[in-house]
Structure 1
Amino acid sequence: MLSIGSEAISFSLKDQNDSVVSLESLKGKNVLLSFHPLAFTPVCEEQMKSLEKNFDTFRSLNTVCLGISVDSVYCKKAWADIIGIKNISLLCDFWPHGGLAQQYGVFLGDFGFSGRVNILLDESHKVIFKKIYPIKEVPDINEIIDFLKSRK
């Protein structure tokens, strides 16, 4: 996994709306890469809902949140509709399978999906925070919000 201070690895992935989201297009904004194993799982649902619930707070902190998993566009679209995700981009690291998660060192090859990991990038897209969470634990979104507030 990238170390604190490392330059983020550039990417372009489709989201649940079949739109391409690139890291380059987010220059000047903090970016939270919120890796989660799989759509349609309870802990991942809570993780993504916490991003959606705090969308305005993150926006006020100049931060874009991206949920990332190995699921396809169609799967992510159905899931977003079911769980009420309207503002957060759910990126599809579908093909090559888990390619971005592999580049970021968070892919769990024995399982075929990423770990549950939050990586926060600053406005110049250097890693400023990273944490691996147990697969069955919802990440505490307040630790990210508090971290961002402490940098103001």
Structure 2
Amino acid sequence: MNLIAVGTNAPDFNVKDNKNQNIRLSTYKGKKVLLSWHPLAWTPVCTDQMRSLETNLQNFQNLNTVPLGFSVDSQPCKEAWATAIQINNVSLPSDFWPHGKIAQDYGIFNETEGVSERANIIIDENSKVKWVKVYPSGQLPDINEVLQVLSSS
């Protein structure tokens, strides 16, 4: 695994989210983007991680940031899961096919497990990688740390 370096141009992507909408990184130029990666839907820590994005959506909007809750789960899975855990506003894109391609592009694909690492990646308004943090898979990322990084950039 070769983690993407801060300062690198963020690889573009075009995938479907939980609402079956096309999500393309390049459409967010002029905004910051948080790629919040979780290994798999339907697990407790991943649920809490995605709910923290939904709960803090207004904070993200105030910081000119679009939060995206990524995993390698399929689009129908992300759709059912978002409904089940009441994610109504935050987009949950699917990196299902080619399997884990975006996670691979960002250097956070776990080849052994076939899932992404748990990670937060902040991309700035000019599509440059601004901040990267990988977490132990069982650890809930500190949303306040992410908001602090966003507010200081």
- What TM-score do you get using the length of structure 1 for normalisation? 0.97
Give the length in aligned residue pairs: 151
Residue 9 of structure 1 is matched in structure 2 by 11
Residue 55 of structure 1 is matched in structure 2 by 57
Q: Please give the alpha-carbon distance, in whole angstroms, between the structure 2 residues aligned to 1:111 and 1:105.
A: 14
For 2:38, which of 36, 39, 43 is the aligned residue? 36
SS in 2 for 1:119: strand
Q: Which aligned pairs between 1:3-152 and structure 2 lie closer than 5 A?
A: 3-151=5-153
**Uncovered stretches (5+) of structure 2, i.e. residues with no partner:** none
Q: Please give the alpha-carbon distance, in whole angstroms, between the structure 2 residues aligned to 1:147 and 1:117.
A: 14
Q: Please give the alpha-carbon distance, in whole angstroms, between the structure 1 residues aligned to 2:96 and 2:148.
A: 32
Letter in 2 for 1:87: N
SS in 2 for 1:21: strand
What is the CA deviation profile of residues 61-115 of structure 1, one whole-angstrom value per residue up to 9, with x for unaligned ones? Answer: 0000001111111100110001010111101000011111011110001001000
The CA deviation at 1:125 is: 1.2
Q: Please give the alpha-carbon distance, in whole angstroms, between the structure 2 residues aligned to 1:143 and 1:109.
A: 28
Segments of 4+ moved more than 4 angstroms: none
Q: Please give the alpha-carbon distance, in whole angstroms, between the structure 2 residues aligned to 1:100 and 1:150.
A: 27
The CA deviation at 1:2 is: 1.2
- What TM-score do you get using the length of structure 2 for normalisation? 0.97
